[in-house]
Amino acid sequence: MGWETMKHEVKKISLLFYATAVVTIIVHVIAHCSFGIMGGRLTLRVRERMFAAILRNEICWFDDVNNTSAMLSS
C-alpha cells in the first residue's frame, strides 16, 4: 500500500466521520425540537382539561377550604 493510497483512504474515512457527525447533529436538533413541541402541547392539553373540569363543578364546591381559587391555582 503506497503513501498516496493511504492518504486517500484516511481522507475518505475522515470525511465519512464528518458527514456522520453532521447528520447526527441535525437529527438531534430535530428530535430536541420535536420533543419540546410535544411537551408544550401536552402541557397545554392537560391544563385545558383541568380548567374545564374545575369549571364544571357546582358553586358550593368552591366553598370548601381545599377548593379556593388560591389553592386551585397553586
CA 20 to chain centre: 23
Domain that holds residue 43: 3-73
CA dist 32 → 27, 38, 41, 51 (Å): 9, 10, 14, 29
Q: pLDDT (tens digit, 9 = 90+) per residue, 1-48? A: 688 899 999 999 999 999 999 999 999 999 999 999 999 999 999 999
pLDDT of 25 reads: 98
SS3 content of the chain, % helix, strand, coil (to 5): 90, 0, 10
pTM of the model: 0.63
Report the number of distinct structural domains present in the chain. Answer: 1
Alpha carbons 32 and 25: distance in angstroms, whole number = 10
Amino acid at 7: K
| pLDDT of the residue at 71 | 82
